[in-house]
Structure 1
């Protein structure tokens, strides 16, 4: 196989195994990509050549009778081709086509026990067993998002092709196997990286992370006389990044931005533009050793940032207060600070979380638009210790925050004034304080974020005396100052919440007696005539005061 123009059927000559290296992204095509792919092939005019795309291959030795070909560029398109071809051959065989034979499958899919496509990640056996070999699959066996996408692609092609006539299927087979391709074939990986940096594949556009990887690998070839080992180190770092993205379903663009703010000391917000500009300037000034060091240190720092982000997101070290921070919300603006502190000052991380919990809760309670992230990020860019700034926001009463929080506490319409998450968090933490006092296990963060199959929160907010309850008439004062008062709100599971609905409060009390939530059980203990509006007001006022005192005590509001 040589560089130049070729055809699809020529590159699959039966002697090659195509390997997707570990440093490549896992399979990521979705139904919209697959639909475009199939439509493109079907609509191809028979009297015009079909151009399938550009591929960059690296000859990577031999295994037995087969040559190993690493796919450096075009891996998504080539994987999709073989997923498509596997289902196309099965369908043609079912319809007794004379276009194919057993040898056809040996060329494209599997020759005895040897599959013609292999993945260097954990999806390899899944691809061979459940995609190409049609073994029965239970949902519990899908271990990664890419495995799910591989299965969805298989089912997509199986369904679509099954509806086509034999004539159309044979036309599709001819179109795809005789399609033109443009090949770049190299023996050295350093040469491959230089070519890759100049190519635009016909598949999905490169993400910023992929473009950064390509750029760094290309430039290490320009700055080193013996770049292969360094390129291998870059590939290893990015392979770890891709595995983290795959395993934890990370949004890579966000983490790139967090990293740039946290560690690169630049005002630029575009990570790709920043690193390209930095390295290109060094290379253009012939400061090759400095450029090489910058490339390698950037790769290591970036990999470490993804690792630290996962440690924080998953709370791997069970950091005290971190779960509460996630439940309060507004986490994203603080990720650069969190990542920076976790990496540079691990012994002060819990201290930072305690400051953040107090500050962010105050900010949400008073509906503060800014969380101070701009000021914090400026201090990070200036290489300052930014941990103490969050404590300063509260301690030195920035934006008159303490007085404004107290004013917010006195607001009567919690349900409409605050975000539902803030109200839920207050009631949730109050429930856990009660459980701790009575020796019951606390509710967990999983219960807090748990959702029903239709996406509704499993833990809901219930009005003790509902807005339109039967058996009591609300006066204007009650509607304005009591219905949505925090004293009239309690956390509840969604199923019993629906069941209680707008029943009389006395009827609801029977539900509260049986509730697994302490805060609901305590409502039943109140000596209140629920048909007497003045007694109900008295109950709500007392409960409001108890919860406000809990808030002030928990978040040290003075």
Structure 2
């Protein structure tokens, strides 16, 4: 069946006699169980209420058929998440049909064969979809390292589980419903220009396209309308790598437990903050994703009457964004295996503000040499002081990107930044104050012990009050005055102890904690147990220990 330019269609009619490809530049499959369960529930409710179900708008571009195939081939411009989900759902339902002849006829009409699927993502996801649909039981779930493929695998598992308890008549009813009663509004565009114009319209109408999709589409639009499609392939190829890099970042984020609230906007904005040279008239370090996208459109509008300048800008933006995204992904993958990166990235955890600088330094192979001073900045400024200065850091990331600075030049910039916000005097003052609850304390105490704990051990540590937070004894008898609430939270009275041991010790006096301390993997707290056991451990002892920790910090997190 040929799809006309604009019409409401049933899913069954769309798949019957047509084949669809998902280009490599499109977003990878990213629907989660939340969206999939919602779709299943919509189908169940519509069946119950005897109503058709409308799933939205789809946009296709017709491609020329290959060879003697009688099917029409369409490129999916918009709607591939819904199409892919329905395709996997249909396959799982059809697999439950008991009559083999009926099952094969349904597969032939709506799914195709392993060699010739009705829906074909291009690239590695296409090969995986074939295995998923026709060789599911032989897929090793643990070996799936692409986020999009993990989502497809989860979709098949979910729909198989939902379909499993259904009777034959119930399976048939759902296949018929999907085929005949799920409706979509279809737009069939004739060429690439119409395709990107469609994206532009969707963007302007406020439909929920994500920031990377919108960015790709606007660059495609200007390439198509003002550069005679000259950069279309480059836009497609660059964004394929950007999409893959972002998906890889999400996999690494989940695996390593770092990167906090990383999302599409994060990688998009962090690139912009480190690329002021590309936006000379509009760049601002406080711009959000929507403003940055508007700046991109503004820059294209400024240059569209001069195609050579427009081409140069788009090329430079694509190359820089692609390199930034790919290196970002490579850096985070390397964190797992590079021993130099373990502590600052996984134990201390850099603030997001530092990542534009970190990624640019990684791109220039300068990160390893500058990692110690970046660690110092994180401890002093972002963790201990608890402030988040962005202007200087984003300026520096752009400066690093624009100029070939030496490692010493960059180190001096970083040193000046740290001295501006937390010089040695300020550092000592913060360290000397009540510090319990500060984000730097656990890392400082871990480093103070001078032992390389594995990550699980480090995560199990809690910050322990040597003289208890809520003592069941008289703290005044140990030399403390009425300011105990102040003194108990200073460094000399804090140590690292495993969670289980810490809970077990409760609010006991130090002498009654010795046996618990001796069981710890933390050598520093074990040594402290020996000092307590020796006798006369009191406020003077705590003050002495605090001064030792302070001197250690000044030397360990130094600017020299």
Q: C-alpha distance in 2, partners of 1:299/1:123?
A: 24
Tell me the equivalent position of 1:128: 130
Question: Mind listing any 5+ residue stretches in structure 2 that lack a counterpart?
Answer: 251-261
Q: C-alpha distance in 2, partners of 1:66/1:553?
A: 75
Shift of residue 212 of structure 1? 0.8
| Aligned partner (choices 460, 464, 469) of residue 458 of structure 1 | 460
Q: TM-score, normalised by structure 2?
A: 0.79
CA contact (8 A) 1:131 1:150 kept: no
Tell me the equivalent position of 1:305: 324
Q: 1:193 to 1:127 in 2, by over 3 A?
A: same
Q: C-alpha distance in 1, partners of 2:11/2:466?
A: 69
Tell me the equivalent position of 2:87: 82
| Deviation readout 1:379-405 (Å, 9 max, x if unpaired) | 66686879444322444xx36744332
Shift of residue 237 of structure 1? 1.0
| Other structure's SS at 1:127 match | helix
**Pair 1:289 & 2:289 matched:** no
Tell me the equivalent position of 1:53: 57
Tell me the equivalent position of 2:211: 208
Q: 1:262 to 1:321 in 2, by over 3 A?
A: same
Shift of residue 106 of structure 1? 1.9
**Pair 1:243 & 2:208 matched:** no
| Deviation readout 1:5-28 (Å, 9 max, x if unpaired) | 3442233235x5433222222211
Shift of residue 294 of structure 1? 1.6
What do you get for the CA RMSD once the two structures are aligned? Answer: 3.9
CA contact (8 A) 1:324 1:357 kept: yes
| Other structure's SS at 1:310 match | helix
Shift of residue 58 of structure 1? 4.3
Aligned residues: 521
| Aligned partner (choices 241, 260, 279) of residue 272 of structure 2 | 260
Name which of structure 1's ranges 299-308 and 352-361 shifts more when overlaid on structure 2: 352-361
1:117-156 residue pairs with structure 2 within 5 A? 117-131=119-133, 133-135=135-137, 139-156=141-158
Shift of residue 528 of structure 1? 3.6
Q: C-alpha distance in 2, partners of 1:511/1:35?
A: 49
| Aligned partner (choices 331, 341, 354) of residue 334 of structure 1 | 354
Tell me the equivalent position of 2:453: 443
1:264-275 residue pairs with structure 2 within 5 A? 264=276, 265=279, 266-267=283-284, 268-269=287-288, 270-275=291-296
**Pair 1:547 & 2:549 matched:** yes
Tell me the equivalent position of 1:439: none
Tell me the equivalent position of 1:392: 416
Q: 1:547 to 1:298 in 2, by over 3 A?
A: same
Tell me the equivalent position of 1:453: none
Tell me the equivalent position of 2:385: 367
| Aligned partner (choices 407, 430, 440) of residue 422 of structure 1 | 440
**Pair 1:279 & 2:289 matched:** no
Q: 1:529 to 1:238 in 2, by over 3 A?
A: same
CA contact (8 A) 1:23 1:239 kept: yes
| Other structure's SS at 2:145 match | coil
Q: C-alpha distance in 2, partners of 1:557/1:335?
A: 20
Q: TM-score, normalised by structure 1?
A: 0.79
| Other structure's SS at 2:271 match | helix
| Other structure's SS at 2:537 match | helix
CA contact (8 A) 2:428 2:550 kept: no
Q: C-alpha distance in 1, partners of 2:497/2:427?
A: 26
**Pair 1:410 & 2:410 matched:** no
Question: Mind listing any 5+ residue stretches in structure 1 that lack a counterpart?
Answer: 436-441, 451-456
Q: C-alpha distance in 2, partners of 1:144/1:500?
A: 45
| Other structure's SS at 2:25 match | coil
Q: 1:274 to 1:87 in 2, by over 3 A?
A: same
| Deviation readout 1:482-507 (Å, 9 max, x if unpaired) | 53332232223334444555566456
1:155-174 residue pairs with structure 2 within 5 A? 155-161=157-163, 170-174=172-176
| Other structure's SS at 2:354 match | helix
| Other structure's SS at 2:60 match | strand
| Deviation readout 1:359-392 (Å, 9 max, x if unpaired) | 34222565353x4322443566686879444322
Name which of structure 1's ranges 479-488 and 291-300 shifts more when overlaid on structure 2: 479-488
Shift of residue 211 of structure 1? 0.8
Tell me the equivalent position of 2:258: none
Q: C-alpha distance in 2, partners of 1:66/1:543?
A: 83
| Deviation readout 1:55-114 (Å, 9 max, x if unpaired) | 3134265377575543232211110111221233245x25x799x543012222243754
Shift of residue 207 of structure 1? 0.3
Q: C-alpha distance in 1, partners of 2:383/2:118?
A: 59
Q: C-alpha distance in 2, partners of 1:490/1:49?
A: 61
| Deviation readout 1:87-142 (Å, 9 max, x if unpaired) | 33245x25x799x5430122222437543333334444443334554416554234
Q: C-alpha distance in 2, partners of 1:514/1:487?
A: 21
Q: 1:365 to 1:139 in 2, by over 3 A?
A: closer
CA contact (8 A) 2:248 2:329 kept: no
| Other structure's SS at 2:77 match | strand
Q: 1:508 to 1:204 in 2, by over 3 A?
A: farther
Tell me the equivalent position of 1:377: 394
Tell me the equivalent position of 1:438: none
